[in-house]
Amino acid sequence: MTQPLQNITDLTLKELQQALSTLGEPSFRATQIHQWLFSHRAATFDEMTILSLALRKKLAESFSIHQLSAVTYQECFEEGCENPTQKILLELQDGNQVESVLIASENRMTGCVSSQIGCPLQCPFCATGRMGFRRNLTAGEITGQVYALNDLVAAREPGKALTNIVFMGMGEPLLNTDNVIEAIENLTTRNYRFCLSQKRITISTVGVIPEILRLAKSGMKTKLAVSLHSADQQKRESLMPIAARQYPLAELGKALSEYSSSTGMPVTIVYLLLRGINDSLDDAKILARFAKTFLCKINLIDYNSINNSKFKPVYSAARELFQQYLMNAGLHVTVRKSYGTTINAACGQLATVGIQNPQ
């Protein structure tokens, strides 16, 4: 049986340079091809008219090009919002699938992208965690999700494009940092199609300490969100056992403090409110104590149900008391609206196997 050709969009720029050097081509050719793939979104080598016919032929003999596009698509309208939330399912070259979401709010078109297929951290409240872990996504597959979401934006309003990107889809981005950073470079490089400001990109993590410190030193200007869900070590371990044990709160607090002081940017603490579990005023008190040790803002989110889950969303009265306590403590607190719950597109609901809440 003949092996399928390697998908060239799975190569990083460095790997592309090595591949071109093996073909006896200078390194600047790799830069040109990279731009054709990740800026012009070429689907065939014949489109790369800047290359000689001979090189295009040589490339087609060694590689395939698999650009992602949506295979299925669902949408739902939120109350009072004229633009729908849209979720797409994308098929990767190896047959694996991944989900991404387009969230339209007042002035923003936000693409929520995945960084892994499944997730190794297995937080019990999350559909992705229940899928198990299959593999990291390549930088090309992450970039491809952004393009596929942007297709939806362009179909709605020709000439418009995504304005923001959040790494809040399937997987833990800071367990795939190299590819996430490479994808961010594809999306922020000057003269490339998107050319987004790094400040419009948010990386959301459970708190992978060494990688937070790496970002702090990198000079990148992307935003950081940390899923905390409890400021009590024991309780956090019951909610996110693998992550909380591996990255204890005391050390996480120090890393976040280093991050905010070296970047000058606040960290967003994401706090998923779960009824009767982490929504008491005592929980708010310890959260306030933790959050006051570094520059941050707090984002409270409601739980979005998944199949066979013991967790329940908080009552709105309890959420208001919780928020008020934090605000009285001098903290900046917002409540994040959930988008796409009826199509299993909201936080913690993405999964490409049947774990989600039946609608």
Nearer to ligand SF4, 42 or 347 (CB): 347
Nearest-approach distance from CB 339 to ligand SF4, in angstroms: 17
CA distance 164 to 199: 9
Residues 324 and 332 sit within 8 Å (Cβ to Cβ) = no
Nearer to ligand SF4, 12 or 204 (CB): 204
Task: Specify whether 47 is catalytic.
Answer: no
103: tokens are 């969230």
Task: Specify whether 99 is catalytic.
Answer: yes
Nearest-approach distance from CB 211 to ligand SF4, in angstroms: 13
Nearest-approach distance from CB 229 to ligand SF4, in angstroms: 9
CA distance 252 to 271: 15
Nearer to ligand SF4, 11 or 226 (CB): 226
Q: Which residue in 111, 171, 313, 340 binds ligand SF4 (CB under 6 A)?
A: 171
Instruction: Spot the catalytic one: 99, 172, 182, 211.
Output: 99
| 238-277 residues near ligand SF4, rule: CB under 6 A | 240
Question: String of b and e for 204-223 (b: at least 16 CB within 10 Å)?
Answer: bbbbbbebbbebbeeebebb
Residue 299: enclosing H or E segment and its boundaries? strand 296-302
Of 45, 65, 42, the C-alpha closest to 53 is: 45
Q: What share of the chain is helix, strand, coil (3-state, %, to 5)?
A: 40, 20, 40
Judged by CB under 6 A, which stretch of 70-78, 92-100, 118-126, 153-161 contacts ligand SF4? 118-126
CA distance 115 to 135: 9
CA distance 298 to 291: 8
Nearer to ligand SF4, 122 or 357 (CB): 122
Quick check: 126 binds ligand SF4 (CB under 6 A)?
A: yes
DSSP letter for 151, please.
H
Nearer to ligand SF4, 150 or 278 (CB): 278
DSSP string, 203-229: EEES--HHHHHHHHHHT---EEEEE-S
Q: Which residue in 10, 25, 99, 172 binds ligand SF4 (CB under 6 A)?
A: 172
The neighbour count for residue 177, using CB atoms within 10 Å, is 21
Residues 44 and 65 sit within 8 Å (Cβ to Cβ) = yes
Instruction: Spot the catalytic one: 123, 126, 296, 347.
Output: 347
Nearer to ligand SF4, 84 or 111 (CB): 111
Nearer to ligand SF4, 4 or 132 (CB): 132
Q: What are phi and psi of 148, to 5 degrees?
A: -65, -40
Nearest-approach distance from CB 170 to ligand SF4, in angstroms: 6
Nearest-approach distance from CB 273 to ligand SF4, in angstroms: 15
Quick check: 206 binds ligand SF4 (CB under 6 A)?
A: yes
Quick check: 128 binds ligand SF4 (CB under 6 A)?
A: yes
| 330-349 residues near ligand SF4, rule: CB under 6 A | 348
Quick check: 207 binds ligand SF4 (CB under 6 A)?
A: no
Assign residue 194 a region (left: φ > 0; alpha: ψ between -120 and 50; beta: otherwise).
Answer: alpha
User: How far from the centroid of its chain's Cα atoms is residue 332's Cα?
Assistant: 24
Q: Which residue in 76, 119, 153, 231 binds ligand SF4 (CB under 6 A)?
A: 119
Q: Which residue is nearest to ligand SF4 (CB)?
A: 129
**One-letter amino acid of 275:** R
Catalytic residues: 99, 347
| Site residues (vs ligand SF4, CB under 6 A) | 119, 121-123, 126, 128-129, 171-172, 206, 240, 348
